[in-house]
Chains A and B, each alone.
Chain A
């Protein structure tokens, strides 16, 4: 009987076996990299806004405190977007005729809100409260990054669960004294681990078991 296969078939089979392993592994690796990429999470990508509001100018340049506009950040789950009136506190006097700010004035005249594009949007199944984080010494910068260097606002971190839970497992690595909550570019005066552990105790931050309980965030 003649041979059914040429001897190259052996090599072909071996190549196929290695190839399948490489392709399956490769696809898995690409999928893993993709799901945490900036393309997928939109982290570090500036968003277009109806008015090109610059945090660089307002925070970095003028030195406004975060809480001047985001007034409810210490008391509410939601750090509010300021009403047009807050803008008009200054902009009725400064740049009062600037064409760029016309939408602000229009909003003030008609009472219709400015339709900002939301930058940080957590899934609806996650319960997040700004108030408690601020009260326990998590600085704005810790999650939002150097907002004073953002000409257009972007999301600094992935907002994926492993990012949240890293901190919930080891809060001492992230907390800072409350007086520096809104400081940008905060540097701990000494060993962060040491200061962190002290603050965790002082601010009565719950243990990792409670902080990582499912129902802490998924209520």
Chain B
């Protein structure tokens, strides 16, 4: 590797990987996180919190199964409450992973290579959390298979004119494609772990999962085609899944829901919260595992810029939504928004404006964008803001619609909170298992970022 030495010492313009890395050191550093016997305290703490909250989730679900959905605060007229709020929030978070892995791949954005793996894992686990809520909300979750068209004894099939059925297909397709994409991308790295692992059991497990990957030219050619195809499949999903989720609202005639700009508004919101989650995960992880050389400040800044852009779209949507309510002259629409701003949910509404629109304006400043600590705090603001947004849309619209006589308020019970926190626990549990057992950064894709990966390319010119 005499050539490699010379290339390393050459001046590098890229900021998406620290200078001084070689193919070997990249592989060493990323695989060491998994192959070491040492588990950092940070991991133990996060995994512990995850398990604790997961137990809370199991407890809440057991109670839900025995007592029914009445343990939640959902009462007429607000029958959607926390469950659907959390569903939309989680599924939105997943969108950043798909955007990073698919759209940025097709757009040839090299900086995605260092963050796509854990962002895709985040997508998978967020979709798992999201998928639980509509099922638990069914009342009889064990009959969830009624949602699918299958040969049955009733002679009827799901109502295909209902957006709730579209949702089933949108989310299950999303979960399938995300899982496939993530797994296909993992295979070369699983082979690396198989070859490097000292433990015979781990070697066999990684070996089975690597499906016989040997890194031959033919393997790579098939791999490139497969990942490109999957990226092509996943790209429309970034837009379509949250569009379909927004149809759950817009197809209904409830004031505050029934509007045509919900799809772009929801997709922007999804990517907004998703990038916030990417930052909230990446910042502590790179600090604990010393990965600042691979997930650089440039990555954080890029993600912050995406957040700023999507945040502005979301802010624009709030303005437009309010304007339309007034300009349409629709009494009910106007009243819905007036109630939202001044009624029982005004505190939630104004906090969401503060968290989603006002505070993120700080991201215009480079000092906030490039400081990991402030950026972490800002991403948490956005996560809270986006949760509040869904809460306000769902609860305030249902609580006060056309008939004053049937107005009511939603009050979350402790089991609403327990289920919500429980899914955060499930997410942490799965995510930290992933961190410990699989390479959190794509080894082979980061290696292509090195200048020496382009030696041959340059030589050919």
By a beta-carbon cutoff of 8 Å, the part of chain A in contact with chain B is 1, 4-5, 9-10, 13, 32, 35-36, 158, 160-166
A42 to B194, CA, bound (A): 56
Is B347 on the interface with A (CB-CB < 8 A)? no
From DSSP, what is the main secondary structure of chain B's interface residues?
Answer: loop
A-B interface, 10 closest residue pairs, ranked by CB to CB distance from nearest = A162-B155, A165-B155, A160-B153, A161-B154, A4-B207, A161-B155, A162-B153, A4-B203, A32-B151, A35-B153
Contacts of A1 in B (CB 8 A): 195
26 contacts between A and B (CB under 8 A): A1-B195, A4-B204, A4-B207, A5-B204, A5-B207, A9-B212, A10-B212, A13-B208, A13-B211, A13-B212, A32-B151, A35-B153, A36-B153, A158-B153, A160-B153, A160-B154, A160-B155, A161-B153, A161-B154, A161-B155, A162-B152, A162-B153, A162-B155, A164-B155, A165-B155, A165-B156
Contact with A along B201-227 (1 / 0, CB 8 A): 001100110011000000000000000
Contacts of B203 in A (CB 8 A): 4
A32 to B150, CA, bound (A): 10
Contacts of B194 in A (CB 8 A): 4
Closest Cβ–Cβ distance, residue A167 to chain B (whole Å)? 10
Q: Which residue of B lies closest to A1 (CB)?
A: B195
A50 to B55, CA, bound (A): 54
- Contact between chains at B156 and A161 (CB < 8 Å): yes
- Contact between chains at A162 and B204 (CB < 8 Å): no
A127 to B154, CA, bound (A): 15
Closest Cβ–Cβ distance, residue B279 to chain A (whole Å)? 39
Closest Cβ–Cβ distance, residue B350 to chain A (whole Å)? 42
> Other than the known A160-B155, A166-B155, what 8 A-B pairs have Cβ atoms closer than 8 Å?
A1-B195, A32-B151, A161-B154, A162-B153, A162-B154, A162-B155, A164-B155, A165-B156
Contacts of B195 in A (CB 8 A): 1
Q: Which residue of B lies closest to A214 (CB)?
A: B156
Closest Cβ–Cβ distance, residue B216 to chain A (whole Å)? 15
Contact with A along B141-155 (1 / 0, CB 8 A): 000000000011111
A166 to B203, CA, bound (A): 57
Closest Cβ–Cβ distance, residue B170 to chain A (whole Å)? 23
Q: Which residue of A lies closest to B203 (CB)?
A: A4
Closest Cβ–Cβ distance, residue B212 to chain A (whole Å)? 7
Contacts of B152 in A (CB 8 A): 162
Q: Which residue of B lies closest to A162 (CB)?
A: B155
